[in-house]
Structure 1
């Protein structure tokens, strides 16, 4: 019979009065034993590649992958190659429970999803920079309830804006694929990238998307592409051709069509309006 998993306790990690603690860990390539904890954990892959072991399988995480784990989740992290680095934030259970009480819209999402496995999302390079700045402020600042909440709330706001609006009965693999499809490395491949992230046959993925989201994998992928394009148009001076290629839509005519359907105006007009508003609020 296998050994019972180790359960980590927040009382052993958080000092009296603390509601958050941040650690940076270089991961070993050795396969880890699964562990659980009585607290909530926000963790992200800072560098390299990581294998995330779960009771029912495993998944590979790239730089920018974020996981939200809670009490009852069993998992383990393994480095894949050199320089695998993970940042982990231990969050007091009372802090996270109180946030849900004060913000009912969080029910069924992130830490409060009720899913059998940790929720996973993906941050792009700009969002990772914001996350790391927040982590640095937490390390240097207060870690009581006020400091922990000041760290966590902006992150939660950003994550919930991009979390897949899936019903509770949707399979975990579909939620993970929807989150993974926000990564340019995935959406550049189109529907094939979505199916690969799901780890399921394309027909099964398409049927599940229709059932739970009333859209096709291509619809979801194109929505992520156009969200990314909007951010790039606002925050850079790169050409439309460069941005379209990054989105996996090198045909500019098709890129214009998708963008207008998503945002109601041409990419050029969208860029002029947003960049002007930044300079002249």
Structure 2
């Protein structure tokens, strides 16, 4: 076998890009080249079957499986089904590996690192999500692919996968119905965030009472709590851009006043927005 090829992020990605996403169909007669990289990636088998050659070992791949590839891993793919092996690949900036994202103290108290994103073990695990959470896993991937692909979106994607991996381990069966998850898609538009709870009520077509009941059942939070969290997520994204001032961010995120925004942000992240922005800038730039 020829020597593996090293892929470099600065040659693969455009300047300023946080993630790169692509689909690839790999056939038996045209296998993917043996390679490694200076960045991390997550791939999901969307269709077909194949073989994953990684770190000198061979593992079968089937539809639905997910794997985290570390920068230290050397691997290649080969399709074995008639229509080939269809992979969805999400590559991420070297400074934003899943373990770093999950253990970032700025995101709150870190939870134990799930086995899926363990960098210390010799072979990365291949996860086949249980059937009961597969729709939610698909939703997490779809939401990331179809939405923003900035650092906040990547963090939400990784945290979402980690939570579902833990849920699969615990065999949790109460997974939110698609209509409930889809109701919150309206909050991707700042105009709806400014409206808040009523925008989600209108999007869902259900009553506020029913929405609150279902949110408590599936998410353990009220609708108002979830809207507040989404506002803060947008605030974080705007703060990372280092362009908008605090009053503009407060207005964009639907807060009635700057003081209200600062109070809510400090309660969630432990420090005022400007101090958070300064601290984050130091972390990102190293």
User: Normalising by the residue count of structure 1, what TM-score does the alignment of the two structures yield?
Assistant: 0.53
Alignment of 1:150-189 (within 5 A): 150-162=156-168
Instruction: Report the equivalent of 1:139.
Output: 145
Correspondence 1:100 to 2:106: no
Kept in 2, the 8 Å contact 1:40–1:111? The answer is no
Q: In structure 1, how many angstroms separate the alpha carbons of the residues matched to 2:216 and 2:101?
A: 39
> In the TM superposition, what is the alpha-carbon distance from 1:100 to its structure 2 partner?
2.9
Structure 2 counterpart of 1:127, from 129, 133, 147: 133
Kept in 2, the 8 Å contact 1:106–1:112? The answer is no
Instruction: Name the CA shift for 1:29/1:93 in 2 (closer, same or farther; >3 Å).
Output: same
Q: Partner of 1:94: helix, strand, or coil?
A: coil
> In the TM superposition, what is the alpha-carbon distance from 1:278 to its structure 2 partner?
5.3
> In the TM superposition, what is the alpha-carbon distance from 1:232 to its structure 2 partner?
8.6
Kept in 2, the 8 Å contact 1:39–1:93? The answer is yes
Q: In structure 2, how many angstroms separate the alpha carbons of the residues matched to 1:279 and 1:156?
A: 20
User: Normalising by the residue count of structure 2, what TM-score does the alignment of the two structures yield?
Assistant: 0.53
Instruction: Report the equivalent of 1:231.
Output: 173
Alignment of 1:247-266 (within 5 A): none
Instruction: Report the equivalent of 1:38.
Output: 38
Instruction: Report the equivalent of 1:209.
Output: none
* Residues 151-198 of structure 1, C-alpha deviations (whole Å, 9 max, x = no match): 2211122124446xxxxxxxxxxxxxxxxxxxxxxxxxxxxxxxxxxx
Instruction: Name the CA shift for 1:233/1:104 in 2 (closer, same or farther; >3 Å).
Output: closer
Where has structure 1 moved over 4 Å in runs of 4 or more? 232-235, 277-281
Instruction: Report the equivalent of 1:26.
Output: 25
Kept in 2, the 8 Å contact 1:42–1:89? The answer is yes
Kept in 2, the 8 Å contact 1:52–1:59? The answer is yes
Instruction: Report the equivalent of 1:80.
Output: 80
Q: Partner of 1:12: helix, strand, or coil?
A: helix
The answer for unaligned runs of 5 or more in structure 2 is 178-212, 218-286
> In the TM superposition, what is the alpha-carbon distance from 1:120 to its structure 2 partner?
1.2
Instruction: Name the CA shift for 1:92/1:63 in 2 (closer, same or farther; >3 Å).
Output: same
Q: In structure 2, how many angstroms separate the alpha carbons of the residues matched to 1:20 and 1:279?
A: 31
Instruction: Report the equivalent of 1:61.
Output: 61
Instruction: Name the CA shift for 1:35/1:114 in 2 (closer, same or farther; >3 Å).
Output: same
> In the TM superposition, what is the alpha-carbon distance from 1:62 to its structure 2 partner?
1.2
Kept in 1, the 8 Å contact 2:26–2:32? The answer is no
The answer for unaligned runs of 5 or more in structure 1 is 164-223, 236-276
Kept in 1, the 8 Å contact 2:132–2:173? The answer is no
Instruction: Name the CA shift for 1:280/1:66 in 2 (closer, same or farther; >3 Å).
Output: closer
Kept in 2, the 8 Å contact 1:22–1:90? The answer is yes
Instruction: Report the equivalent of 1:8.
Output: 7
> How many pairs are equivalent?
175
Q: In structure 2, how many angstroms separate the alpha carbons of the residues matched to 1:279 and 1:105?
A: 22
Q: In structure 1, how many angstroms separate the alpha carbons of the residues matched to 2:52 and 2:155?
A: 27
Instruction: Report the equivalent of 1:251.
Output: none
The answer to which of 85-94 and 139-148 deviates more is 139-148
RMSD after superposition: 3.1
* Residues 235-254 of structure 1, C-alpha deviations (whole Å, 9 max, x = no match): 8xxxxxxxxxxxxxxxxxxx
